[in-house]
Amino acid sequence: MTPHDDAEFTALCIKLDETLKRRGSVNSISFEAYTDALQDLPYSALHNAGMDFIRNGDWFPTPKEWREAAEDHLFEDIVPLALPAPVASRDVELKTITLPNGTSVNVMISDWEFRCTACEDYGWTRTPCPGDRTCGRPFRHLAHEVVGDCPCRKTNDTYKRHHTPSVAARKAQR
């Protein structure tokens, strides 16, 4: 999440607050605490997780629950990339591999290349933050990893092919 996601994040929190029950006697949400607890995650994952809570949840999520749900969405975005590429690679070599049980299998080696070596076409970059202001937090904190959008997303055709909205594909993943 970056500072310019703040407005959308606030709107999403209000949406959740209006839709879901609250635990205990908490009457107002501390946006600041939530923002701080979740800010190293990309807003798109938080948004998708938030919409899941609105659709399927009963309670306003705790930061921990929201984190866990958002991390599932990070993973969900990466899963389709494990599928073989439809056109971009060519089979260049047939290899026969012998498995430990003695069976031989033929494996086709392709000339697949990553369009972006920084993110290997996943679209996410991981930057270590030693606990200083690298991630944007204005105070000292424990070292962690900052996950962000890779700048290649707009031009990376592999990334784009895997992230073209397809209702059927998204439903199949659930």
Whichever of 54 and 118 has its CB closer to Zn ion, that residue is: 118
Q: How far is the CB of 150 from Zn ion (least distance, A)?
A: 3
User: In this structure, what is the dihedral angle of CA atoms 35, 36, 38, 44, given to the nearest 10 degrees?
Assistant: 50
Q: How far is the CB of 81 from Zn ion (least distance, A)?
A: 12
Whichever of 51 and 81 has its CB closer to Zn ion, that residue is: 81
Specify which residues 20 forms β-bridges with. none
Whichever of 40 and 61 has its CB closer to Zn ion, that residue is: 40
Q: How far is the CB of 152 from Zn ion (least distance, A)?
A: 3
Alpha-carbon span 91 to 59, nearest angstrom: 50
Q: Is 140 helix (H, G, I), strand (E, B) or coil?
A: coil
What does the binding site for Zn ion look like in residue numbers (CB under 5 A)? 116, 118-119, 129, 135, 150, 152
Q: Using alpha carbons only, what angle is made at residue 165 by residues 160 and 170, rounded to the nearest 5 degrees?
A: 115
Q: How far is the CB of 127 from Zn ion (least distance, A)?
A: 9
Where do runs of H (alpha helix) occur along 57-133?
Answer: 63-78
Whichever of 74 and 129 has its CB closer to Zn ion, that residue is: 129
